[in-house]
Structure 1
Amino acid sequence: MSNNEELAIDVEDLTFNFGESPVLKNVTFKLQKGARCLLVGANGAGKSTLLTILAGKRMVQDKVLVLGMDAFKDSPLGVTYLGTEWANNPVVKGDVLVSTLISNMKGGIYPERVKELIQIMDINPKWRMHQISDGERRRVQLVLGLIKPWTLLLMDEITVDLDVLVRSDLLEFLKKETEERNATLLYATHIFDGLGDWPTHITHIKRGKIVASHDFHNNFPELDNMMTQQLLINKQQLTNRQLYRNMGSPLLKVVEQWLREDLRELRLLQAEERKKAEQERDKVLLGEEKPKTKWDILSDNVDKYGDKYYNYWDH
């Protein structure tokens, strides 16, 4: 099997803009089949955009292959995307039985799988969708989305409404899926409690760029150092309970450091942009320069970067 055949995701030099605003910048990302990868980054870093592109929901001109096929043009079978927008669909808040939704998703083809998911997610097929809470709707969504066996699962902050036990059981189910069927999972989340050694990989995206990708079991020095520090603390036979409570998980500590640095850099960048905007405004007030319209900026971007960097289909 060639290296390309072993890849579930193969992205090269992907750039994506919303108008003149770059969301993803020269992203290259490869993920092997059977991996469970965490996608981490601050709000607005580009996680959701990357996931929707991989799910084939946005057309791009750069190389984006999932399961060896073009994500948008080929719409490869076996790709499942679970995002938060499902909860806003008026259909899922209508007077409809959960059992009806399960039937519509061909649940009868996978009776044992449906039974297991119902137990894991703690839902009742007799529920009526308009009578249940948002958290219960989220659990129903997960059951519906996972009924059909998937080859690549893309999850975008989908576990935010789950309680600790349900989330733990779901993660164990997903881990079993990747191990037994060599399926692949890319999971964007801000919740790291209880993950432990669940992931196989982690990717850090910052302001539209992938700045780090690590294999959990090979060449992840930041996590190794954090685990070493905590082992040393444990050996000190702590009597300070507050210190013990503040230790947290090694993974959470590493990600927290990443995100704090991201925030620091973002604030510096925003300060520079405010200063530049004030300087340009002063020039306009003094009559030294005419104000730029949106179309002036758009024209500048196309002249500088070419059509490749402008997504007309978003307008």
Structure 2
Amino acid sequence: MSGPIDQTLAPGIEVTKLSYSFPDSSVGLRDIILSLPPSSRTLLIGANGAGKTTLLRLLSGKRLAPSGTISVGGLDPFKDGLEGVTYLGLEWVLNPIVRTDIGVQELLRSVGGDHYPERRDELVEVLDIDLEWRMHAVSDGERRRVQLAMGLIRPWRILLLDEITVDLDLLSRSNFLGFLKQETEKRQCTIVYATHILDNLAEWPTHLVHMSLGKVKEWGSMETFDVQGKREYDSGNSRLGMLVLGWLKDDLQERGPRNSKQAVKVGSEGKSYAAAGTGGYGSEVAKPRTF
């Protein structure tokens, strides 16, 4: 009988024939197969409604997937109490507390800043945060920087990011992504990042996953894709952008206009934050975690 799994190591992600349905029986994901190695940095690419958020929420353990379909570091993220998971998505971004008259130092302290002073100070520097800010009096971009610092102060083993850099300026985003890359190179951790913004990302990911209509169409290491073969543009970033643009054009042709009777009606279409999906199970209650 094997012993307990070591949860100090960087987790790999294995997804095997994963399908998932919403309460109205519409299909969110279908027959997904993925294998992402430990310490990888994966870009999750796809049009709105492709199923990216649904997949991320299942990987984070916020939704129950059919038994045996998801393994993160050898564990089921919903059933087994996977440690060190940080998921930053819509509900985290919309948390009303960060719009009230409260100071940055109070917020950082509330999420463990005093217990991880070195990480706190590094994130404050990387994200160019003023510790004297009051949250009701800052811009959306400044508020997002504070939220990112709050979400990342506690060390994590797996980080799942769902479109959370849209309000950052170019320099802040570049510094932030540089910090994340350094994390996977220095610590035992793995990242999956869903984004539509590809500027300055050519050298960042180790892997790409292309989703459309609730399924994975392509996935693999960066060497798998013909990014270097796109000769029309000089920069690697433009080549990556052209690769993804081609994917999205093909996806649109396959799906058809959203209001067309012939359009393929598969994918999340904004349902990922609604009531729990079935996944074959119905309402879910995660097993209490012990610490």
Select the structure that is richer in helix. 1
Aligned to 1:44: 49
* Secondary structure in 2 matching 1:125: coil
Deviation of residue 310 (structure 1)?
A: 4.5
Q: Which has the higher contact order (CA 8 A, sep 6+)?
A: 2
Q: Is the 8 A contact 1:8 1:33 kept in 2?
A: yes
Is residue 121 of structure 2 the alignment partner of residue 128 of structure 1? Answer: no
2:212 equivalent among 206, 211, 216: 206
Closer, same or farther in 2 for the Cα pair 1:223/1:107, shift >3 Å? same
CA distance in 1, matches of 2:237, 2:174: 17
Q: Quick check: 1:263 aligned with 2:252?
A: yes
TM-score normalized with structure 2 length: 0.83
Matched residue SS, 2:224 = coil
Structure 1 residues without counterparts, runs of 5 or longer: 235-243, 275-306
Counterpart of 1:194 in structure 2 is 200
2:31 maps to 1:8: no
* Aligned match for 1:27, one of 29, 32, 46: 32
The aligned runs of 1:57-96 (5 Å cut-off) are 57-62=62-67, 63-96=69-102
The reply to whether residue 17 of structure 1 matches residue 21 of structure 2 is yes
CA deviation string 1:32-58 (max 9, x = no partner): 111000000000000001001111111
Q: Is the 8 A contact 1:87 1:134 kept in 2?
A: no
Q: Is the 8 A contact 2:28 2:51 kept in 1?
A: yes
SS class of match (1:203):
strand
Q: 2:156 aligns with which of 143, 150, 153?
A: 150
Q: Counterparts of 1:37 and 1:8 in 2: how far apart (Å)?
A: 11
Residue 225 (structure 1) aligned to one of 229, 254, 274: 229
Aligned residues of 1:61 and 1:308 also touching (Cα < 8 A): no
Q: 1:268: how far off? A: 6.6
User: In the alignment, what sits opposite 1:284?
Assistant: none
Query: How far did 1:273 drift?
Result: 3.2
Kindly provide the amino acid, as one letter, of the partner of residue 28 in structure 1.
Answer: I
Q: Distance in 1 between matches of 2:111 and 2:237?
A: 40
Give the one of 80, 105, 108 matched to 2:111: 105
Q: Could you tell me how far 1:59 is from its partner in structure 2?
A: 1.4
Tell me, what secondary structure is at the counterpart of 1:213?
Answer: strand
| Structure 1 contact 39–187 (Cα < 8 Å) conserved | yes
Contact 1:87 1:137 in 2 (8 A): no
Q: How far apart, CA to CA, are the structure 2 residues paired with 1:166 and 1:22?
A: 37
For residues 165 and 93 of structure 2, the distance between their equivalents in structure 1, rounded to whole angstroms, comes to 13
The 1-side partners of 2:252 and 2:211 are apart by 13
Picking from 211, 220, 241, the partner of 1:252 is 241
Gaps of 5+ in 2: 1-8, 264-276, 285-291
| Secondary structure, counterpart of 2:227 in structure 1 | helix
- Give me the whole-angstrom Cα distance separating, in 2, the residues matched to 1:184 and 1:128: 33
Q: In structure 2, do the counterparts of structure 1 residues 183 and 248 end up closer, same or farther at CA, with 3 Å as the change threshold? A: closer
Rounded Cα–Cα distance in structure 2 between residues aligned with 1:157 and 1:75:
25
Q: Deviations over 1:249-286 (max 9, x none)?
A: 10000000000110111117864537xxxxxxxxxxxx
Q: 1:68 & 1:77 partners in 2: Cα distance?
A: 12
CA RMSD of aligned residues (A): 2.4
Contact 2:127 2:176 in 1 (8 A): yes
Larger radius of gyration: 1
Q: How many residues align?
A: 262
Give the 3-state SS of the residue equivalent to 1:53 in structure 2: helix
Change (3 A) 1:12 1:106: same
Q: Structure 2 CA distance, aligned partners of 1:179 and 1:45? A: 30
Identical positions, percent: 45
CA distance, structure 2, for counterparts of residue 159 and residue 309 of structure 1: 29
Could you tell me how far apart the structure 1 residues matched to 2:17 and 2:144 are? Answer: 34
SS at match of 2:229: helix
- Paired with 1:308 and 1:189, the residues of 2 have a C-alpha distance of 26
Structure 2 distance, partners of 1:309, 1:81, is 20
Runs of 4+ in 1 over 6 A off after TM superposition: none
Q: Check whether the contact 2:14–2:70 (CA below 8 A) recurs between aligned residues.
A: yes
**Alpha carbons of 1:73 and 1:171: their partners in 2 closer, same or farther (altered >3 Å)?**
same
